[in-house]
């Protein structure tokens, strides 16, 4: 007799999501009501915990880390979440505010929810995401299952090559901080009528931010850093996608990745009309376009290009095998991406405290990063820039090596470092 194979929480969740997604696709007007009890289902909580743990991340305002939970017992933690949700005793804590310095001297605010809040947000996301996924448009690529930045880049390349000579490059000013929570909740309620789920989402929106010992609450924005935030942000901008589909699709082709998007148009007149339409829809959503970062770019002469998702896009001349000249859209890593790569390498190899490390440790750190950069940024047109970055990595290693060996200059170490990098299996971008 065959023993029945036990399914894992991951498989259970996938099956549940497929059913839910199918039901949402079948009836676009259906509002879902019995969802809250699914959030505290043990298999869903286990899968949520698995994903939060895989994402790593630091502690929230309660100081509890992922390691603390593993030490105290994962079963106790999951059962505690289950019990709190079931008995209606779960209350999220304010988000811990942290600032990351930006290149221009400004600081990017980040919010870190507690691990418990991240797990319960993840469980809720697992339950409600398939419903909204059924409504999201083909134009949207950011923070969605089975969709990627690479697919968005390919869509843009093709749109530019289909006589797309003008681009409206859009930047929304402080998007995550300016989402109108009441309008967002109305959009969530169009699909979900379970009052306890709606109450949960409202609690997260109103949990506030803890900064310098004080809690600040706002009726604008979504908690940046929260697991649920990207989904809520997509729900809000899906309204834009739908209106664009209805009123703007003849003017230009939209590609959106979270709050960044471009519209590719054939003529300057179309681009200007697209810009006005975008501004009008954004007004409805109570969002403001960044005055200097939002711009119309002419691609047809090849003198101008635009940056999107870490890549620079520009039209260049090419020749067919018969010598006919035509224009095609090329993509290569943008200057900002180049600088970021150099920064990561420098941070690893330049500080004096890194001199005690072995070459093997540095190679182990750099290899996954190099592989990731290569996978994302490599195109036929990126090769020259990639070669320069490979050279930069080698020079940085030589400088580190010379300092470690207490040698005066790094040039004399270059040949030795070259052969060591081959010996230790350092990957290259090219």
pLDDT at 238: 98
Beta strand pairing call for 311-319 and 325-333 = antiparallel
Is the CB of residue 355 less than 8 Å from the CB of residue 400? yes
pLDDT at 349: 97
pLDDT at 369: 98
pLDDT at 355: 94
pLDDT at 89: 97
Non-local (6+) Cβ contacts of 56 within 8 A are: 66
pLDDT at 1: 46
Question: pLDDT tens, position by position, for the chain (430 residues)?
Answer: 455 567 899 999 999 999 999 999 999 999 999 999 999 999 999 999 999 999 999 999 999 999 999 999 999 999 999 999 999 999 999 999 888 877 667 787 788 999 999 999 999 999 999 999 999 999 999 999 999 999 999 999 999 999 999 999 999 999 998 999 999 999 999 999 999 999 999 999 999 899 888 998 888 888 778 899 999 999 999 999 999 999 999 999 999 999 999 999 999 999 999 999 999 999 999 999 999 999 999 998 889 999 999 999 999 887 778 888 788 999 999 999 999 999 999 999 999 999 999 999 999 999 999 999 999 999 989 999 999 999 999 999 999 999 999 988 888 899 999 999 999 999 999 9
Is the CB of residue 394 less than 8 Å from the CB of residue 401? no
CA angle 407, 411, 414 (to 5 degrees): 100
Q: What is the pTM for the complete model shown?
A: 0.92
- Secondary structure, 3-state, the chain: CCCCCCCCHHHHHHHHHHHHHHHHHHCCCCCECCCHHHHCCHHHHHHHHHHHHHCCCCCCCCCCCHHHHHHHCHHHHHHHHHHHHHCCCCCCCCEEEEEEECCCCCEEEEEECCHHHHHHHHHHHHHHHHHHHCCCCCCECCCCCCCCHHHHHHHHHHHHHCCCCEEEEEEECCHHHHCEHHHHHHHHHCCECCHHHHHHHHHHHHCCEEECCEEECCCECCCCCCCCHHHHHHHHHHHHHHHHHHHCCCCCEEEEECCEEEEEECCHHHHHHHHHHHHHHHHHCCCCECCCCCEEEECCCCCCEEEECCEEEEEEEEECCCCCEEEEEEEEECHHHHHHHHHHHHHHHCCHHHCCCCHHHHHHHHHHHHHHHHHHHCCHHHHHHHHHHHHHHHHHHHHHHHHHCCCCCCHHHHHHHHHHHHHCCCCCCC
Rounded distance between C-alpha atoms, residue 390 and residue 203, angstroms: 48
The two structure tokens encoding residue 274: 């697209």
pLDDT at 3: 52
pLDDT at 409: 85
pLDDT at 102: 73
pLDDT at 4: 58
Rounded distance between C-alpha atoms, residue 262 and residue 266, angstroms: 13
Rounded distance between C-alpha atoms, residue 4 and residue 188, angstroms: 39
Burial of 308 (0-12, 13-18, 19+ CB in 10 A): buried
């Amino acid at each position: 007799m065959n023993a029945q194979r036990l399914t894992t929480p991951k498989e259970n969740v996938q099956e549940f999501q497929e059913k839910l997604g199918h039901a949402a696709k079948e009836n676009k007007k259906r509002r879902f009501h019995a969802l809250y009890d699914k959030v505290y289902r043990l298999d869903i909580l286990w899968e949520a915990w698995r994903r939060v743990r895989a994402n790593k991340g630091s502690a929230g305002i309660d100081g509890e880390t992922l390691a603390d939970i593993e030490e105290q017992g994962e079963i106790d933690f999951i059962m505690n979440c289950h019990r709190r949700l079931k008995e209606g005793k779960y209350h999220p804590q304010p988000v811990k505010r942290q600032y990351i310095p930006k290149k221009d001297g400004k600081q990017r605010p980040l919010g870190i929810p507690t691990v418990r809040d991240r797990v319960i947000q993840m469980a809720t996301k697992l339950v409600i995401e398939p419903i909204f996924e059924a409504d999201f448009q083909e134009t949207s690529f950011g923070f969605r299952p089975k969709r990627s930045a690479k697919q968005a880049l390919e869509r843009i390349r093709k749109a530019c090559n289909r006589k797309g000579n003008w681009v409206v490059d859009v930047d929304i000013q402080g998007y995550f901080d300016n989402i109108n929570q009441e309008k967002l909740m109305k959009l969530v309620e169009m699909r979900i009528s379970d009052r306890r789920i709606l109450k949960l989402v409202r609690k997260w929106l109103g949990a506030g931010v803890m900064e310098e010992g004080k809690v600040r609450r706002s009726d604008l924005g979504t908690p940046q850093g929260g697991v649920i935030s990207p989904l809520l942000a997509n729900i809000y901008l899906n309204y834009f996608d739908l209106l664009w589909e209805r009123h703007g699709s003849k003017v230009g082709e939209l590609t959106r990745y979270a709050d960044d998007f471009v519209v590719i148009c054939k003529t300057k007149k179309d681009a200007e009309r697209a810009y006005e339409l975008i501004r009008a829809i954004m007004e409805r959503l109570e969002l403001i376009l960044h005055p200097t970062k939002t711009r119309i770019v002419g691609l047809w002469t090849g003198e101008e290009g635009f940056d999107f998702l870490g890549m620079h896009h520009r039209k260049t001349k090419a020749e067919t095998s018969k010598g006919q000249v035509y224009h095609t859209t090329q993509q290569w890593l943008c200057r900002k991406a180049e600088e970021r790569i150099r920064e990561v390498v420098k941070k690893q190899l330049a500080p004096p405290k890194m001199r005690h490390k072995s070459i093997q440790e540095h190679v182990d750190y750099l290899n996954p990063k190099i592989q990731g950069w290569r996978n994302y940024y490599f195109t036929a047109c990126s090769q020259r820039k990639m070669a320069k970055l490979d050279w930069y990595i080698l020079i940085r290693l030589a400088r580190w090596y010379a300092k470690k060996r207490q040698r005066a200059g790094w040039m004399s170490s270059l040949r030795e470092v070259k052969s060591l990098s081959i010996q230790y299996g350092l990957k290259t971008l090219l």
